[in-house]
């Protein structure tokens, strides 16, 4: 199991990954808006991170997104991003337990 410091570092890297996607998409202004409005989602993400397999799933999702973007497959990238973004939201009840 990762330590609290490792979760903090992972969370920071994860946030950077998403910021870079917004930046490279030319919508960095939207990133700032999203960050201001995502307090509750951030709390859910932090509660979800220590769950078994979550870190590995996030990394695998990120790899899939990067591969789709690099290979010029926008439909695959969109599908991978939707899957990734729905991960925490799909288990809110479990996180609350």
Helix (H) or strand (E) holding 23: helix 4-24
Residue 97: the pLDDT is 81
CA distance 67 to 20: 15
Task: Select the more confidently predicted residue: 97 or 15.
Answer: 15
Mean pLDDT value across the chain = 91
Alpha-carbon torsion, ordered 26, 38, 47, 2, to 10 deg: 30
pTM of the model: 0.85
Q: Is 58 exposed, middle or buried (0-12, 13-18, 19+ CB in 10 A)?
A: buried
């Amino acid at each position: 199991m990762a330590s609290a410091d490792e979760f903090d570092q992972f969370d920071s890297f994860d946030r950077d990954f998403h910021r870079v996607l917004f930046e490279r998409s030319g919508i960095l202004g939207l990133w700032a808006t999203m960050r201001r409005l995502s307090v509750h989602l951030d709390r859910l993400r932090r509660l979800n991170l220590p769950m078994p397999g979550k870190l590995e799933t996030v990394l695998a999702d990120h790899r899939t997104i990067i591969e789709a973007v690099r290979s010029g497959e926008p439909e695959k990238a969109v599908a991978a991003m939707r899957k990734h973004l729905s991960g925490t939201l799909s288990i809110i009840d479990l996180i609350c337990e």
